[in-house]
C-alpha cells in the first residue's frame, strides 16, 4: 500500500512538472511574438487548452511565469558556461570558447533567451531584482575571466574591466534582437564574425596572431 502511494505521488509530481514545462513553452512563444505586456494569462490558458485558474495555480500570475522562464534559462546558461570553465585548455582558448558557447546557446534557446531583454512597465521591483541578480551572475563570470586575462597580460591594462565586460556581453546579446534563421546571414558566419569582433576588441593583437 505504501509503495503504491509513493508511486502515485511520483506520477502526480512528474505530471505537474510536465504541465509546467508545457505552460512555459507556450508562454515564451507568446511573449516573443506578441510581447510580454500584450500577452495575458487568458492568452496562455487558451493556447494550452487549460483554465485560467490552472495557470494561476502553477505560477501565481503572468510575472510568475516570466520569473520561472528567467530562472530556467539562467540555469541552462550557467551550467554550460561552468562546463567550459572546467575544461583543460589555455585561458585565452577558454575565453573564446566561453563566448562561442554563450552565443550558440542563445540561438538554441531561441525565444527563451530573449526573456532577458524584456523591459516592461508592468514588472514589479522584486522581479526586476531577480532579473538583475541573474544578469549579475553572468557579468561576474565574464568579469573574472577578463580580469585573469588582464593579469596574464593578454588583455591590456588600459582596459576598464567593467566597461569591457559590459561591451562583451552587449555584443554577445545583440544577435538575439536581430538574427532570424533563413532571413539573414547564415548563423555560422554570424557566430564567427561576432566571436572574432569580441576577441579583437578585448585581446592584445599579438596574442591572436601567435595562435594562427
Task: Summarize pLDDT for 70-105 with one digit per residue, the tens.
Answer: 888 888 999 999 999 999 999 999 999 999 999 988
- Cα distances from 189 to residues 172, 192, 207, in angstroms, run 14, 5, 23
Among 38, 60, 82, the domain-final residue is: 60
Full domain range(s) for residue 7:
1-60
Report whether pLDDT(33) > 90.
Answer: no
**What domain count does the chain have?**
2
HSE, side-chain direction, 13 A CA sphere, residue 136: 6
- The residue among 112, 187, 172 whose CA lies nearest residue 142 is 172
Q: What are the grid coordinates assigned to 29, written together? A: 512563444
Evaluated on CA atoms 88, 89, 95, 99, the torsion sign reads: negative
Higher pLDDT pick, 179 / 196: 196
Report whether pLDDT(28) > 50.
Answer: yes
Among 60, 80, 101, the domain-final residue is: 60
**Do residues 6 and 93 both lie within one domain?**
no
Worst-scoring range by mean pLDDT, 46-50, 146-150, 178-182, 207-211?
Answer: 178-182
By CB neighbour count within 10 A (0-12 exposed, 13-18 middle, 19+ buried), where does 66 fall? buried
**Do residues 17 and 98 both lie within one domain?**
no
pLDDT band at 203 (very low <50, low <70, confident <90, very high): very high
**Do residues 10 and 94 both lie within one domain?**
no
Query: Do 16 and 55 touch, CB atoms closer than 8 A?
Result: no
- The residue among 124, 83, 130, 121 whose CA lies nearest residue 102 is 83
pLDDT band at 36 (very low <50, low <70, confident <90, very high): confident
**Do residues 107 and 143 both lie within one domain?**
yes
Among 34, 60, 86, the domain-final residue is: 60
**Do residues 100 and 194 both lie within one domain?**
yes
**Do residues 41 and 72 both lie within one domain?**
no
**Do residues 109 and 43 both lie within one domain?**
no
**Do residues 56 and 71 both lie within one domain?**
no
- Cα distances from 73 to residues 79, 104, 108, in angstroms, run 10, 14, 11
Amino acid at each position: 500500500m505504501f509503495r503504491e502511494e509513493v508511486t502515485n505521488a511520483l506520477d502526480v509530481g512528474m505530471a505537474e512538472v510536465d504541465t509546467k514545462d508545457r505552460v512555459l513553452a507556450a508562454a515564451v512563444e507568446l511573449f516573443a511574438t506578441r510581447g510580454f505586456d500584450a500577452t495575458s494569462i487568458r492568452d496562455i490558458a487558451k493556447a494550452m487548452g487549460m483554465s485560467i485558474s490552472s495557470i494561476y495555480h502553477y505560477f501565481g500570475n503572468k510575472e510568475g511565469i516570466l520569473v520561472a522562464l528567467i530562472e530556467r534559462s539562467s540555469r541552462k546558461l550557467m551550467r554550460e558556461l561552468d562546463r567550459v570553465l572546467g575544461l583543460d585548455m589555455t585561458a585565452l582558448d577558454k575565453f573564446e570558447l566561453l563566448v562561442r558557447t554563450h552565443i550558440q546557446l542563445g540561438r538554441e534557446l531561441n525565444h527563451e533567451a530573449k526573456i532577458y531583454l524584456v523591459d516592461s512597465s508592468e514588472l514589479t521591483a522584486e522581479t526586476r531584482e531577480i532579473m538583475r541578480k541573474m544578469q549579475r551572475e553572468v557579468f561576474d563570470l565574464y568579469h573574472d575571466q577578463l580580469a585573469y586575462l588582464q593579469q596574464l597580460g593578454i588583455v591590456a591594462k588600459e582596459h576598464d574591466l567593467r566597461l569591457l565586460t559590459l561591451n562583451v556581453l552587449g555584443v554577445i546579446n545583440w544577435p538575439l534582437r536581430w538574427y532570424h534563421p533563413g532571413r539573414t546571414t547564415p548563423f555560422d558566419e554570424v557566430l564567427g564574425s561576432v566571436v572574432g569582433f569580441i576577441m579583437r576588441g578585448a585581446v592584445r593583437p599579438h596574442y591572436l596572431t601567435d595562435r594562427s
